[in-house]
Every structure is written in C-alpha cells, then in structure tokens.
Amino acid sequence: VGRKIQASAVEALAGLLFDGMTIMAGGLGQAGVPETLIAQVRASGVKDLTVISNNGGLDGFGLGTLLAGGQIKKLVCSYVGENRILEQLYRSGELELEFAPQGTLAERIRAGGAGIPAFFTRTGVDTLAAEGKELREFDGQRYLMERGLTCDLAIVKACTGDHAANLAFRQGAQNFNPLMAAAGRVTVAEVERLVAVGELDPDQIHAPGIYVDRVCESTLDTTGAAPYPAPRPAAAARFGQRAGWTRDQMAARAAAELGDGAYVNRGVGLPMRVAEILPPGVSVSLQTANSLQGEGAAYFNSAEGFGMIRGGHVDLAVLGAMQVAANGDLANWMAPGLVKGMGGAMDLVAGVRRVVVLMEHVEKSGAPKLVEACTLPLTGARVVDLLVTDLGVFRLDRGLRPLTLVELAPGVTLDELRAKTGAAFEVALG
C-alpha cells in the first residue's frame, strides 16, 4: 500500500480542516462529486468556508449538505442551479455568492495549479463579469485579466486511483477534478476503485499522483438516488393555436445553419433539440464543456473543453435568450429575481465562431424580446449572428450590418411583426 493511501475519509482529512479555510470541490452537476469527503467535512463541523466549485450542489446532495449545515460563508461558482436552501441563504444575506464564467473558472483553477498568477481572456468583456478587472487590448481585441486560483484544500473524486495516487476518470466525471487536484496546497482524492500500481495504463492517467497528497475509497455514492430536479415541462403547447413556427420548426430552422461535419455547442432548453432535427446528409459533432459526441466521442476536463471554445475551435453555438438587441447584444443569464449564474454562456459567445439564438419573439406579457438595447445584464456585446424566433429569422451579423428580417413565419404579417419588435429592422425576404 502506498504511503498516500488512507483507511477512510476520516484519516484522509485528519488535521487538514480549519475554520475560514478555502476548499475547492470537484464535480459538475452529479458527475465526479466527492460525496464521501464532503460528508466528512460536514461531520467535522468546520465553518466559515470559502468554497470554489462549479455549482452549489443540490438540496441534500454534495455541497448542498454543507450549505444546509451553515458551514459555507462564500461560494465561488458559475451556476447555482435548482437549490432552495442556497437561494434562502443568499437572499437572507447569510451566503456570499461570486459568479465566474464557467470556462474562466476552469482556467483560473488550471492557472493556479500551473504557477500562472494571471492570464487574459475575451470571456466577459462588456459584461458584469468585467467589473473591477483590468481590460487590455492585444492585436485589436479587448481582453480581461483574470487571476489564478489556489486553495488550502482540494477534494476530488475519481473513478480509479492507484497506490501512487494516479487518478483516472470516466466520461464527464473528469470536469474540474484534475484541475483542482493541481490547485490544492493539499489535495485529497476519493476513488471508487483503488488498484495496485501498474493497473492503470500510464498513458491513460488524467491526474498524475504528484498532485495528490492523500487517497481514500468512496463509501458514499448517492448520485443514482440524488434528487436532481426534473426538467420543467416544455412550453411547446403554447404555440399550438397561434400564427408562426412551432418550437420544432424553430429548432429545424436553426439546424439548417449546421454544415456537414460542424462542431456545435447547444444551450439548455430548446437549443438541445437542434441536433435531433438535422437536414438529410448532415452529421455534426456536439461539443460540451467535457465531451464531444457524434462521430465517435471524446471526454476531457473543463479547462480543455473551454479552451476549445475560447480558442475558436467550435463552429457554432445555438443558445436561448432573454433579450437580443439590434446590434447583436445578448442577455440570457440574469433577470430581476433570477440569480443563477452565467454558467458557460459568456465563454461560448466570446469564443464560438458563429452564434445562433433561438427564442420566442415576445415575453409572456407580450413585451418584445428583440429590442433596440438590452435592459438586462449582457452575456456578451455584439455577439449574435442570427436570431430565429417563432415569428421570423433575423440576420444580426454581430452588429456589423443593420438588423435584417430574412424570413417571415407563415401567417405572420410584417405589420404584426413590427408591432411585436422593439427595434427597427430592414427587410430582405428571400
């Protein structure tokens, strides 16, 4: 047995926990969450924690248990998801929330582990995420300076670990785990399966043991039973009785933008349907923060996934929106009473070559969502190339050319469309 191997989570965390410390915790949604170690942090009663993690767990699951225990003072994350206790703590002022774009968060953690104190990224320029940060131009583009992150303790979860503390992950469980392993001043890993040295192929190790100080076996895995919130019922029926395109037709119109062999990233909700309604003869690869799916598959960590996005390797993103402005501005992450975090949306609009937005043309109230200037906080400025609504298709070209209607849905008149649109537009119907 290697010198890093511990008999249990109790031993693995012995002497490492103190009030006011900063902890990074791996995991994205329900994948790769160090549940056993989190349970031991919970049992220890340590408090006033600053926790860095992509999200805040769920009620009764993962970091949600530390929130319920009142142990977390501040959460640095990209998205908080559906979590009632978190929402209560935040609204009552008992929890401080700091949002970072998901790709920026991943890269900051990678930088911290790799001895890089700061780097520049386009993600978040012209948004709230830029507040207080240095803005700098390189080759005519503006970038934000972001700082590397380290922590007192990183807790991670791997599928397999060997006695030299080398770690291997399965599929989406990689996410933030290898990055955090490197960024911890001390790193503790729990593993589903502990194996002898030599059982892991040296070419297939995602987090080399040099990053990992202690290893124990997982004894808690509730992901199968975790109360992950069911998706809200789709709003599809709402369009049944009206003029304009159905949601499937909207998705199909967006899908028509996909060339054969394209790499595409889709936002949640309606954009997810785009891949199901591809034109004949077209096949695409679907990119996410942690995978490529389509012709074959590949899994990778979140720094790699967002490096792909920021580096311009993804051809197209299909996103939902709350508001789109005539100049290509996009708002899709924050509204009064809705504080969830930007997730990966800012990274996508800053990095993907072409951005297509799918949204209903008006709010439930009837208020226009295509407007002269966004009133909601921006996800990105001048980033939308094409907008597909239930009433028509608009070319925005990132604000380089005037807003132009290029297709009108059946049964919709130009006068009706103008009345429901908060911005002037040109008309160039094919």
Query: Which one of 10, 43, 114, 427 is in contact with a second copy (CB under 8 A)?
Result: 114
Q: Which is nearer to a second copy, 7 or 297 (CB)?
A: 297
Determine the size of the site formed for a second copy (CB under 8 A): 71
Smallest gap, in angstroms, from Cβ of residue 109 to a second copy? 11
Closest CA to 179 of 133, 116, 121, 225: 116
Q: Rule CB under 8 A: is residue 102 a binding residue for a second copy?
A: no
Return the axis-axis angle of helices 102-113 and 302-310, rounded to nearest 10°.
120
Q: Which is nearer to a second copy, 265 or 323 (CB)?
A: 265
Question: Which residues have a Cβ under 8 Å from the Cβ of 139 and sit 6 or more positions away?
Answer: none
Dihedral angle of Cα 307, 310, 311, 317, to the nearest 10 degrees: 110
Q: Which is nearer to a second copy, 84 or 193 (CB)?
A: 193
The piece of 48-56, 286-294, 335-343, 418-426 that touches a second copy (CB under 8 A) is 286-294
Q: Which is nearer to a second copy, 6 or 174 (CB)?
A: 174
Query: Which one of 285, 379, 389, 421 is in contact with a second copy (CB under 8 A)?
Result: 285
Distance between CA atoms of 328 and 410, rounded to whole angstroms?
25
Q: Which is nearer to a second copy, 261 or 279 (CB)?
A: 261
Query: Which one of 70, 261, 279, 411 is in contact with a second copy (CB under 8 A)?
Result: 261
Please report, as residue ranges, which positions from 11 to 40 form the binding site for a second copy (by CB under 8 A).
none
Smallest gap, in angstroms, from Cβ of residue 104 to a second copy? 11
Smallest gap, in angstroms, from Cβ of residue 207 to a second copy? 9
Closest CA to 51 of 21, 29, 30: 21
Neighbours of 128 (CB within 10 A): 14
Closest CA to 357 of 345, 339, 367: 345
Query: Which one of 351, 374, 394, 395 is in contact with a second copy (CB under 8 A)?
Result: 351
Q: Which is nearer to a second copy, 115 or 280 (CB)?
A: 115
Please report, as residue ranges, which positions from 288 to 347 form the binding site for a second copy (by CB under 8 A).
291-292, 294-300, 303-304, 306-314
Smallest gap, in angstroms, from Cβ of residue 114 to a second copy? 3
Q: Which is nearer to a second copy, 60 or 294 (CB)?
A: 294
Question: Which residues have a Cβ under 8 Å from the Cβ of 58 and sit 6 or more positions away?
Answer: 30, 64, 81, 82, 83, 226, 227, 228, 229
DSSP 257-309: TPPTT-EEEE-SSGGGGGGGSPPTT---EEE-SSEEESSS-EE--HHHHHHHH
Smallest gap, in angstroms, from Cβ of residue 169 to a second copy? 7
Q: Rule CB under 8 A: is residue 115 a binding residue for a second copy?
A: yes
Please report, as residue ranges, which positions from 128 to 167 form the binding site for a second copy (by CB under 8 A).
138-139, 141, 143, 147, 162-164, 166
Smallest gap, in angstroms, from Cβ of residue 16 to a second copy? 18
Q: Which is nearer to a second copy, 29 or 392 (CB)?
A: 29
Q: Which is nearer to a second copy, 383 or 417 (CB)?
A: 383
Q: What share of the chain is helix, strand, coil (3-state, %, to 5)?
A: 25, 30, 50
Q: Are 321 and 381 in contact (CB under 8 A)?
A: no
Query: Which one of 55, 121, 327, 421 is in contact with a second copy (CB under 8 A)?
Result: 121
Smallest gap, in angstroms, from Cβ of residue 210 to a second copy? 5
Please report, as residue ranges, which positions from 169 to 228 form the binding site for a second copy (by CB under 8 A).
169-171, 174, 182, 197-198, 200-206, 208-211
Give the type of residue at 151.
C
Please report, as residue ranges, which positions from 382 to 421 form the binding site for a second copy (by CB under 8 A).
none
Tokens matching residue 142:
């503006």
Residue with tokens 């892991």: 200
Question: Which residues have a Cβ under 8 Å from the Cβ of 148 and sit 6 or more positions away?
Answer: 108, 109, 111, 112, 114, 115, 116, 117, 118, 119, 183
**3-state DSSP call for residue 114?**
coil
Q: Which is nearer to a second copy, 284 or 412 (CB)?
A: 284
Smallest gap, in angstroms, from Cβ of residue 288 to a second copy? 12
Smallest gap, in angstroms, from Cβ of residue 199 to a second copy? 9
Smallest gap, in angstroms, from Cβ of residue 46 to a second copy? 25
Q: Are 244 and 417 in contact (CB under 8 A)?
A: no
**3-state DSSP call for residue 188?**
strand
Q: Which is nearer to a second copy, 308 or 388 (CB)?
A: 308
Distance between CA atoms of 279 and 277, rounded to whole angstroms?
7
Please report, as residue ranges, which positions from 36 to 95 form the binding site for a second copy (by CB under 8 A).
none
228 DSSP 8-state letter: P
Closest CA to 74 of 100, 50, 38: 50
Give the type of residue at 369.
K
Smallest gap, in angstroms, from Cβ of residue 192 to a second copy? 14
